Structure 1
Amino acid sequence: MELVSFLSGISLAAVLFFSFGFLLVVIEMFHPGFGIPGVFGGIFLILGIVITARSVMEALILVSIIIAVLGVALTLVLQSATKGRLSKILILRETQKKETGYTGSEDLQYFVGQQGITLTVLRPAGIADFNGIKMDVVSEGEFIPKDEKIKIIKVEGRIIVVRKIF
């Protein structure tokens, strides 16, 4: 009986605050970003509690209900993020493969065999020029003076290994 009297005492403003609050928080869950909908949704939910609750116990009950509803909404959002429509929005499905002509900044294999000149002393690391492209290089452990001709013999990730040309 008390629940019926409580529900009948909810004003139109409280219903609007709760409705807009839940709506904005759920929008924030589906479209994470700057948090503006989530913040305003939280403010609306708090305002709904403030104008509805007549005691601390009613406020705690409303907070519990709101947390439960948002927990269910979050569960649905996470399920959608892994299997549903949301995963199509948030997860990039296309790949850029070397076979289709894409090369990344980490793929420097095409430099193997090119010749260049040292711009600094290699002890064993330094800078070299390969057809106008300045690159950080490493010798095989030997000292190579400045202005010496070198050749790229191996690339391991971002490490370019060179050898002096005699």
Structure 2
Amino acid sequence: MRMVSGFTLLLSALLLMMSVFQAGQLAAGGSSFEKGVAAASDVTTEPSFFESLVNFLTNPYVVPILLSIAGLGLLLELFTPGIGFPGGIGLFALILYFYAHTVAGHAGFGTIALLVFGLLLVMVEVVLPGGIIGFFGLAAIFGSIFLAGQDVKTTAIAVLFALIIASVGMVIVVKIFGKRLHLFKRIILNDSTSTESGYVSTVNRPELVGKTAFSLTALRPSGTIELGDERIDVVSEGRFIDAGKNVKIIKVEGSRIVVRELESKEEEI
């Protein structure tokens, strides 16, 4: 279910981004035609709703907000189990950013193509995690954002602001809703080890020193002994010990237990 959500989000992004350039070119063309007619007839016209919208979305104070919403929404979608809503909001904000800058004439076909290429690499990273492909995908996406910006300095400030806001937002969401949303479930190991599942931790057992046991296997020099009802992995001191011999535990060093074969006199004692 989680993989389907990721595919749906990224495929939607690709389809929408492919149409952004066409829509932006048409809108930009219409705007230029209207300006040409207005100039020829020397008539002053009020900006249309879409022109006002583009001016608003390309405002240096609005761009950081758009990128912050896009970054936070897409990050939440990547690290939550397929909610869909945060990713949709983030994707919509990203589309608004590129649409407005395309209509304004700041972004061209190459910029949109770079963005689509970056999204494709991210899609591959989702299917085949490795890190390198995802890194280049993110680099392509950031590169397209800079190319679409009005100037490097303004865009850099907007991106930095967006990264800070997205990071702070993620921390807040993790603190408040982390357990409820199971954030980072994909990248954090949740499996636990217990004695019920057959796991036995390695502990120091100094109380075994001096006890006698029975060698179940030949110790060459490692093997297994039986102490009561417990089987213990040990190593012999210096020489090999055959199976079926009585041994004495003489040293315990963490998980390393050293035994020595009992001599006949010791067995009698």
TM-score range, shorter chain: 0.5 to 0.7
Structure (1/2) with the larger strand percentage: 1
Alpha-carbon distance, 1:152 to partner = 1.8
Could you state the TM-score of these two structures normalised by the residue count of structure 1?
0.56
Distance 1:75 1:142, change over 3 A: same
For 1:143, the equivalent position in structure 2 comes to 240
1:59 counterpart (148, 159, 166): 148
Whole-angstrom CA distance in 2 between matches of 1:60 and 1:35: 33
Whole-angstrom CA distance in 2 between matches of 1:77 and 1:139: 58
Alpha-carbon distance, 1:137 to partner = 0.7
1:111 counterpart (203, 208, 214): 208
Amino acid of the structure 1 residue aligned with 2:237: E
Amino acid of the structure 1 residue aligned with 2:56: L
Distance 1:43 1:75, change over 3 A: closer
Could you state the TM-score of these two structures normalised by the residue count of structure 2?
0.38
Seq. identity, %: 26
Distance 1:75 1:49, change over 3 A: closer
Q: Quick check: 1:26–1:73 contact (8 Å CA) kept in 2? A: no
Distance 1:60 1:111, change over 3 A: farther
2:165 counterpart (73, 77, 94): 73
The structure that has the greater radius of gyration is: 2
SS of the aligned residue for 1:52 comes to helix
The aligned length equals: 136
Does 1 or 2 have the higher relative contact order (CA < 8 Å, sep 6+)? 2
| Structure 2 stretches lacking a partner, 5+ long | 1-52, 108-145, 180-199, 264-269
Whole-angstrom CA distance in 2 between matches of 1:112 and 1:34: 51
| Structure 1 stretches lacking a partner, 5+ long | 90-103
Whole-angstrom CA distance in 2 between matches of 1:36 and 1:66: 28
Alpha-carbon distance, 1:144 to partner = 0.8
Amino acid of the structure 1 residue aligned with 2:70: G
* RMSD of aligned alpha carbons: 4.4
Structure (1/2) with the larger helix percentage: 2
Q: Quick check: 1:118–1:128 contact (8 Å CA) kept in 2? A: yes
